[in-house]
Structure 1
Amino acid sequence: MNKLTPVQSVGGLLFKRDDLYEPFGPGEVNGGKMRQCMMLLDSVKDEITGVISCCSIHSPQAPITAAAALAFGKRCKILYGGTSRAKLLESPMPRLCLKYGATVLLATRSGRHNVLYAKAKELKGPEDFIVQYGINLSGHSDVLLGAVAAQVENIPDEIENLVMTCGSGITASGVMIGLNRYGKKVRNVHLVATAPDRRESIHRTLREHGADRDFIYHDLFHTEGFAYEKPATAVWGGITLHPNYEAKTMQWFVKSGLDPGSTLFWIVGAAPRNIPAAGRP
């Protein structure tokens, strides 16, 4: 489950290819978040019979959770809100959830995470486990951050720039804990934010693990015209980057002036390709 994914030099730029963690095969859900969810459910599998998660209809977290639940033989409910049943039928991520055997529910009028999470807690049975936003950190930090930190072992010992997308901040925190654990000398860690500001929680997590350090924060989320659900396109040396995450970070990188020859670009995951045609949830 925690086998090292490769570091590759492509077109003069180093990539950490965590998208090549593909436990269900090429084209299926993949990447560091998939590994985190697998390790999370592995740590609680003997205590639960069901899994619940809630997120945006555009988020890969839902099908990741559904696939991990299927792998461990657990029933799964995915809660969505702020949309219509017709929109669910049209959307790739809910269709993937169905493919992996989850029950997809239009659970709330609002799509706000706090409203969906409250509904998830309401529906939670005594043997259910809620996979939270970003994949749970509270109460499971050793499992989740360890799943990421271990992947730092095979990156170069000295790097001028490390560039990665920052959403929930959990993966970013894990990578920086790994830098400390393996004694990697990275001069500049660039976090390119596609979500609200997580700097405070990242520093808090790093302090808790004795790994606090400076990083450079680039806020895409609050730039004019930015929308999480609006896809971007970026390809580097034949690597097609995730339209909601790394593609946006790559577009930033190309304009940043950073030298590709002294940079490692961390790919958390790739967009699934094997998405079924529209069906009825």
Structure 2
Amino acid sequence: MQKIDGLLMKRDDLYAPFGPGEVNGGKLRQCMMLADSLPVAPTGLLTYCSIHSPQAPITAAVARSLGVPCRVVYGGTNRESVASLPMPRLAMKYGANILLAARSGRHSILYARAREIAEREGDFIVQYGINIIGHGDVLLEAVAAQAQNLPDELDNLVITCGSGITAAGMMIGLHKYGKRIKAVHLVATAPDRRPFIHKTLEGYGADRDFQYHDLFHRPGFTYEKGARAVWGGVKLHPHYEAKTMQWYRASGLPTEGALFWIVGAEPHPT
């Protein structure tokens, strides 16, 4: 955690075990802990996601560190896009085998194709958002532990909400470590995950009110279109925290007594 230009920032992006410019952040930590927690070492990892998502290179980097193959399932795209876009290129740099398995990029369709491939190849599936299904305690505790060094009291905590897993884990951590946060602001860059978040929090006795700011359904919003935001020299991820920072700057919330949680920074293939 750092204070930058008067604003406290939780710097999960500084978790970069593979070096500067490589995959980083809270999602990488979750994926590594997930792989380490499996009772039997996987023979391979497989994931499915948007061609703009860092989940593909994160999974590929973890697979490389384990010495096992990685497969990435994409849909609704072509080989030319895969060869030109940063996240698929970085996944391939880490050794991933790219599979164009569906005409649609919808998660439900990609998951169905991923299951077919995993059953055939014997891979372990890293699900959407580094999902908690079957591994909730491992992944949520990985995030919750990051709340331990937050101030005991804050007026406002701002965090990007995609799959809702990091947001839920963060609030479990607030409860676990007795952090008194007056207002938690979830800034949504994906479909509504409030029912999932409340159900998850209830399971840990940590349910609470939070403010939900829906960017995803605003006119003109597209996940694929990046934004630009820099705070005190910290360049924020164009698909996630940059959009949240734009919201924060327009919100009127003060920097005093506030914390902005950075889940990860944009990696750059070389």
Q: Same fold (TM over 0.5)?
A: yes
Moved more, 261-270 or 101-110: 101-110
Take 1:236 and 1:15, find their aligned partners in 2: how far apart are those partners? 10
Quote the offset at 1:40 in angstroms.
Answer: 0.4
* 1:154-199 deviations in Å (ceiling 9; x for gaps): 0100000000000000000000000000000000000000000000
Q: Does 1:32 align with 2:26?
A: yes
- 2:180 equivalent to 1:185: yes
- Which runs of structure 2 are paired with 1:160-171 in the superposition (5 Å)? 160-171=155-166
Pair 1:12 & 2:6 matched: yes
In 2, the alpha carbon distance for the partners of 1:41 and 1:219 equals 32
> How far apart, CA to CA, are the structure 1 residues paired with 2:53 and 2:39?
24
- 1:236 corresponds to which of 231, 249, 253: 231
Residue of structure 2 in register with 1:81 after alignment: 75
- Other-structure match for 1:265: 260
Matching residue within 132, 138, 143 for 2:133? 138
SS for the counterpart of 2:32 is: helix
Alignment of 1:1-281 (within 5 A): 7-44=1-38, 46-125=40-119, 127-273=122-268, 275-276=269-270
Deviates more, 1:171-180 or 1:103-112: 103-112
Indicate the SS of the match to 2:256: helix
| 1:133 CA displacement | 0.2
The one-letter amino acid paired with 1:269 is G
Tell me how far apart the structure 1 counterparts of residues 50 and 265 of structure 2 sit (CA, whole Å). Answer: 18
Structure 2 CA distance, aligned partners of 1:88 and 1:26? 23
Unaligned 5+ residue runs, structure 1?
1-6, 277-281
Q: Contact 1:78 / 1:104 at 8 angstroms: preserved in 2?
A: yes
Instruction: Report SS of the residue matched to 2:131.
Output: coil
In 2: Cα distance, 1:92 partner to 1:144 partner: 26
Equivalent residue letter for 1:165: T
Once the two structures are superposed, what CA deviation does each residue of 1:194-240 show, in whole Å capped at 9, x if it has no partner?
00000000000000011000000000000111000100000010000
Tell me the C-alpha RMSD between the 2 structures: 1.0
- Following the alignment from structure 1 to structure 2, what is the Cα–Cα distance between the partners of residues 264 and 30? 20
**TM-score, scaled to structure 2:** 0.98
Gaps of 5+ in 2: none
Contact 1:45/1:72 (<8 A) preserved: no
Letter in 1 for 2:201: L
**TM-score in terms of structure 1 length:** 0.94
Size of the alignment, in residue pairs? 269
Distance 1:73 1:254 in 2: 43
Residues 1:131 and 1:73: Cα distance change in structure 2 (over 3 Å): same
Return the alpha-carbon distance in structure 2 between the equivalents of residues 269 and 154 of structure 1: 18
> Structure 1, residues 84-129: CA drift from partner, whole Å, max 9, x if none?
1111111111100111111111111111111111111111137320
Aligned-partner Cα distance in 2 for 1:200–1:264: 24
1:9-60 CA-to-partner distances (Å, cap 9, x unmatched) read 0001000000000010111000000000000011117342011101110000
Q: Is the 8 A contact 1:164 1:172 kept in 2?
A: yes
Alpha-carbon displacement from aligned partner over 1:128-169 (angstroms, at most 9, x marks no partner): 200000002111001000110000010100000000000000
2:144 partner amino acid: A
1:47·1:127 contact (CA, 8 Å) conserved in 2? no
Partner Cα separation in structure 1 for residue 42 and residue 54 of structure 2? 23
Q: Distance in 1 between matches of 2:105 and 2:214?
A: 23
